[in-house]
Chains A and B, each alone.
Chain A
Amino acid sequence: EAGVTQFPSHSVIEKGQTVTLRCDPISGHDNLYWYRRVMGKEIKFLLHFVKESKQDESGMPNNRFLAERTGGTYSTLKVQPAELEDSGVYFCASSQYYTTSHEQYFGPGTRLTVT
């Protein structure tokens, strides 16, 4: 079974540019989460989808971030325009919805550098 995949693995952009990160969850996982780790800090929750619906976006830092999950499959996270403080590693995780297990399966992350 394929794990969670993320694309790209690395992205270097200039301040003010736009970047779109993609996450493909494990097939059949209705829950999809985005997290971010800024250097030296903890991994922080950004938002949570159940299928195509945004269940919780309380962790989104501001309106420069837009997440979508059309069709309830893959998800994209767009940053527009990017700022220096957006640099970090963006993780996507997925899990089953109807389960007693709390386990979330993480992708390898996208390292975003804004210069």
Chain B
Amino acid sequence: QQQVKQSPQSLIVQKGGISIINCAYENTAFDYFPWYQQFPGKGPALLIAIRPDVSEKKEGRFTISFNKSAKQFSLHIMDSQPGDSATYFCAATNRPSYSGAGSYQLTFGKGTKLSVIP
């Protein structure tokens, strides 16, 4: 059972356009929703993250929109650039039952391969 569903699988956007990637989750215990960016040959790197007590978070050209009632969140990349071409993963995590600060298992979506064409 896939706990975080991500779409689309691939996305082609023209330079300057808006890229939108959507995710939906099932586990209501999730309380932290990061997006990871992965370039070929590299590991995933944290891009931006949001907690469910806010509906939107913006960092530069990247914005997360969060809808708690619908259990959905999305990544918007404004003014998309060829350098944004990468695979993007949404993820979710929750505080584990055992004690320990900063001990969080990530549940990932399947990833979206974004290509920004000049």
Contact = CB atoms under 8 A, between A and B. Distances in A.
Contacts of A4: 43
Contacts of B46: 103-104
A93 B108 CA distance: 14
A87 interface: no
B34 to A, nearest CB: 7
A95 B49 CA distance: 16
A102 B100 contact: no
Nearest to A30: B102
Nearest to A109: B43
Given A106-B44, A107-B43, A108-B42, A97 B108 contact: no
Contacts of A106: 36, 43-45
> Size class of A's contact patch?
20 to 34
Q: Is chain B's interface secondary structure helix, strand, loop, or mixed overall?
A: loop
A71 interface: no
A102 B108 contact: no
A110 to B, nearest CB: 11
Interface string B76-118: 0000000000000100010010101111111111110000000
20 contacts: A4-B43, A42-B2, A42-B89, A42-B108, A42-B110, A43-B108, A43-B111, A45-B107, A55-B100, A56-B96, A97-B100, A97-B101, A97-B102, A97-B103, A98-B101, A102-B102, A103-B34, A104-B46, A105-B45, A108-B41
Interface of A: 4, 31, 33, 35, 40-45, 48, 50, 55-56, 59, 91, 93, 95-109
Given A91-B43, A97-B102, A99-B102, 16 more contacts: A42-B2, A42-B4, A45-B105, A50-B100, A55-B98, A55-B103, A56-B96, A56-B105, A59-B105, A98-B102, A99-B101, A100-B101, A102-B49, A102-B93, A104-B46, A107-B43
